[in-house]
Amino acid sequence: MGKRLTVKQKNELLEAEDKQILNYGIRIHIMPNGEQATQIHKTFGCSRFVYNKYLADRQEYYKVNKKTLYVNDYKKNVLNPLKKTEKFSFLKEVDKFSLESAVENVEIAYKRFFNKQSKYPKLKTKKDTKKTYSTYFTNDNIKINLDSQTIQLPKLGEVNFSIPKGKNKGKFNNLGSHSVKITKATIGQVGSNYFVSLCIEETISKIKQINTKDIDLTKVCGVDLGLKHLAIVSNGIITIKYENHKYLTKSEKRLKNLQRRLSKMIKGSKNYEKMKLKINELYSYTANCRKDYAHKLSRKIVNENQVVVLEDLNIKGMIKNRKLAKAIADTGWYQLITFIKYKAEWEGKKFIQVDKFFASSKLCNVCGDKKIMLTLNERKWVCSSCHTVHDRDENASLNLRAEGIRLLEVA
Ligand SMILES: [Zn+2]
């Protein structure tokens, strides 16, 4: 692949035309025919093979040379010559970008490991429930045809897809426009469903950022994230508490039941595989419900406000507490924050994250006094200086709002 311009470089070039790049993703459900499905599975297999090979080779290389075998050297010196050998000629039958991206994923996995974002990379197995491979756009190899409802993908040809319902539709219909470019496609299978996730780069008129002096203070809100309520939103006049639906907790009973039944089945049998599929589908169903809610809630918060102030949560750190981990994972805080952030940015509104060491719960929003001890169970407390009775969460969201205003210097 030739050198690609970064988004920053592209934006600099577009500056003169008062335009900018907008990046987003669209996921569509595809229905490959038998032949295409076979090719997809072949590509999963080859991607997994080169992923595992690079991972093993890199470890071996380090053992022997005490040096890192970097991905670009690996591609040039190992992967490409390998494809030319007879023994590994099957690698030529699949999309070449899928192999490159598979070895690049090893590099990414290492980076995430060194950044303490994930565990040490391990070998992929055929049994992994989520199978994917990625390919890049070059010379018109990925194209969408809205009329015939097909997407052209390398080595697969025209694959049928179904048009997404609801919220995605607007963005989706845009795909035919010349200002929209697909940069990358990830083909995957979850359970019995196939999908393609498209990375989109759209050239749009420059988003007008709201001027600090034009901000209406009643449209500055603090958002406190919680377990009892998912989000407590306060604009200084009213406070709204949004329910935490606990989607996973709700399906836990059914999940446990299915898992118990699975444990009694013979591993690898048809019924076993069917049951596993059912469990996976239940997991993805709860994840979808959570995502849907996060979309609706973030949309509402961004529509009603010009500035959204949130706490910069140390979610990773908190999740080390096993008791809380499950409950937190079930809230989808991180997803909600991400959705609020991009929705606000797309509209030129302000998104502010307050330092995680800011004591949003312990400060009195009326007099600024700090309560020394506040346990997680204390839902209400009385300020010892001004005697205001505080609802813990509302007080926290008001403090976040005040801190946001201070950072904006609008007050
Ligand atoms: Zn007080």
Q: What is the pLDDT of residues 127-144, one digit of tens each?
A: 777 799 999 999 889 999
238 CA → ligand 1 middle, Å: 19
Q: Choose between 339 and 355: higher pLDDT.
A: 339
Catalytic residue status for 140? no
pLDDT at residue number 327: 85
Average pLDDT, the chain: 89
pLDDT at residue number 159: 97
Name the nearest CA neighbour of 219 among 339, 301, 341. Answer: 301
pLDDT tens, residue by residue, 37-87: 999 999 999 999 999 999 999 999 999 999 999 999 999 999 999 999 999
Catalytic residue among 95, 100, 104, 311: 311
- Beta strands 389-391 and 380-382, pairing class: antiparallel
pLDDT at residue number 361: 82
- Structure confidence at residue 317 as a pLDDT band (50, 70, 90): low
354 CA → ligand 1 middle, Å: 21
34 CA → ligand 1 middle, Å: 69
What integer is the mean pLDDT of 303-321? 81
Confidence check: pLDDT of 244 > 80: yes
Domain residue limits, the chain: 23-196, 212-243+302-408
381 CA → ligand 1 middle, Å: 10
Residue 328 burial (CB count, 10 A)? 18
- Structure confidence at residue 5 as a pLDDT band (50, 70, 90): confident
pLDDT at residue number 1: 45
CB-based burial label for 126 (10 Å; 0-12, 13-18, 19+): exposed
Cα 241 to Cα 55: distance, rounded to the nearest angstrom: 47
Which residues make up the environment of ion ligand 1, defined by Cβ < 5 Å? 364, 366-367, 369, 383, 385-386
370 CA → ligand 1 middle, Å: 8
333 CA → ligand 1 middle, Å: 29
Catalytic residue status for 393? yes
Confidence check: pLDDT of 372 > 60: yes
Pseudo-torsion of CA 107, 181, 158, 174, nearest 10°? 130
